[in-house]
Amino acid sequence: MFQTFSFGHVVFLAHAALWTAALAGIALGGGAVGGMMIAVLRVSRTRALQWIAIAFVTIVQGTPLLVQLFLAYFGAAFAGLDVPPLAAAALAFTLYASAFFGDIWRGAIEGVPTGQWEAAGALGLGRMATLRLVVVPQAIRPAIPPTVGFIVQLVKNTALASIIGFRELTRAGQIVSNVTFQPLAVFLTVAAFYFAICYPISLASRRLEARMGRGHVEPSLI
Amino acid sequence: MMFDFSGTFARWPELAWGATTTIWLAILSMMLGLLLGSLGAAARLSRHGALRLVPTVYVETIRNTPLLVQIYIIYFGLPAAGIRFTPPVAAVLALGIYTGAYATEILRSGIQSIPKGQLEAARALGLSRWRTLRNVEAGQALAAVYPALMSQFVLVMLATSLVSAISVTDLTASANNIQGLTFRSFEAYLVVAAIYLVLTFVLRSLLSGLERVVCPFKFVGR
């Protein structure tokens, strides 16, 4: 039975948009924790730990997210686990976000002048204490604009979870498109939903960028 | 839980074909993207307000909606309006339009990075606007943004994996196909992920080698 694309379908899409937001939220939370770990490993003095972080970031940034999603989805099956698409997607997006956040935050940490490390060392602070109390507080400000910018990428990329069958906004769009036979109207509406979520974040990122400046550390913060 | 790569490796011609398609898609999309990006950047820097609006809307729309939805709009949506493309053409169009939005911003920032004094000097020497753009600005702008364009090229190459969703037989599609035949899904995607990693590495190396040819003055005295 054909249906005409109507308000009911838009409500259906709006519900699915909440799942898009939920998946992005999970990836954001997981990626924040993972990204911190990657950044810390990356600036550690142990070669082996550095290499683990470098290898992880290189692999995630050097392969398509879609393939990573398939690997998470089929890898769970390979390990004998029967996981729902949401779990596989959550895992893949968390690892993906960890790599990018780790790289962004490493850059911010390395942007802090080495004199700060030396001064903290001279004052008798250990390496972890220096990182926590001296370096990270100064690295937060330049890290914020690119971090917010990456959140836009994260929200947009959750669309790929539709391919492994997670019913978020894009998958819902396919379902509605299949019952209405009006793909143009449906997918333009889906795009409008994404735009409504992403554009404010983009604007915020740009405003923060203008205010804080990339890689610029203000001495008054110290 | 035992790995069995034999089925995947036995289908290496399919993988090779898929990788070739991925490379071609990436090159064509990047070329279209650079063309659109140059037009976009030129329009964005134009003196006419109305002309500046077009690239702004283009960039914001494309950058704040998922590529997958853009691909669906072009491949599934536009036929409803009477515009039909074969899957590879739709793929290159979608990827090119997507890349063009990012290239617009990259190229604009490159042109804006050139000190104003150079333009004034060019005008004082009697160069026309076009000659200034071609002989003074273009080379320097390209040198300034070459690393960003290089990253964009790699991102496009990885993004081509999405076209497997509209039945273009790229590298990811070949994995989809192989796992359907061998039932060794995890292995198939692992192999394909490794191939993407190699492609990324080769592309990066080639592009950084090319930088010496495209902007030799950047390496003078180094």
**Domain layout of chain A by residue ranges:** 7-113+141-213
Query: Among all residues of chain B, which has the CA nearest to that of A190?
Result: B69
Helix, coil or strand: residue B82: coil
Compute the half-sphere exposure of residue A99: CA atoms within 13 Å on the CB side of its CA: 19
User: Which residues on chain A are in Cβ contact (under 8 Å) with B63?
Assistant: 152, 198, 202
Q: Measuring CA to CA, how many Å separate B179 from each of A83, A182, B65, B158, B192?
A: 19, 32, 30, 20, 11
The share of chain B scoring above pLDDT 90, in percent, equals: 67
Select the residue of B64, B73, B158 nearest A64 (Cβ to Cβ): B158
User: Smallest CA–CA separation between A111 and chain B, in Å?
Assistant: 19
Tell me the pLDDT tens digit for each residue of B39-53. 999 898 888 888 889
Q: Are A203 and A151 in contact (CB under 8 A)?
A: no
The tens-digit pLDDT sequence of chain A (222 residues) is 678 888 999 999 999 999 999 999 999 999 999 999 999 999 998 999 999 999 999 999 999 999 999 999 999 888 888 889 999 999 999 999 999 999 999 999 999 999 999 999 999 999 889 999 999 999 998 999 999 999 999 999 999 999 999 999 999 999 999 999 999 999 999 999 999 999 999 999 989 888 875 544 444 443
User: Which residues on chain B are in Cβ contact (under 8 Å) with A93?
Assistant: none
d(Cα A216, Cα A143) in Å, to the nearest integer? 10
CATH node for B7-219: 1.10.3720.10
The CATH label, of 1.20.1600.10, 1.20.1300.10, 1.10.3720.10, 3.90.920.10, for the domain at A7-113+141-213 is: 1.10.3720.10
Amino acid A218: pLDDT = 43
Q: Are B181 and B116 in contact (CB under 8 A)?
A: no
Interface check A83 vs B, CB under 8 A: no
Amino acid A31: pLDDT = 97
Of residues B99 and A222, which shows the higher confidence score?
B99
Amino acid B134: pLDDT = 83
Size of interface A-B (CB pairs under 8 A): 127
Specify the DSSP class assigned to residue B220.
T
A67 with B197: Cβ contact below 8 A = no
B72 with A187: Cβ contact below 8 A = yes
**Domain layout of chain B by residue ranges:** 7-219
User: Which residues on chain B are in Cβ contact (under 8 Å) with A173?
Assistant: 69, 72
Query: Among all residues of chain A, which has the CA nearest to that of B173?
Result: A67
Tell me the pLDDT tens digit for each residue of B104-152. 999 999 988 888 898 899 999 999 888 888 888 888 888 899 999 999 9
Select the residue of B69, B160, B196 nearest A187 (Cβ to Cβ): B69
Q: Are B89 and B74 in contact (CB under 8 A)?
A: no
B63 with A162: Cβ contact below 8 A = no
Closest by Cα among A97, A204, A209, A218 to A145: A209
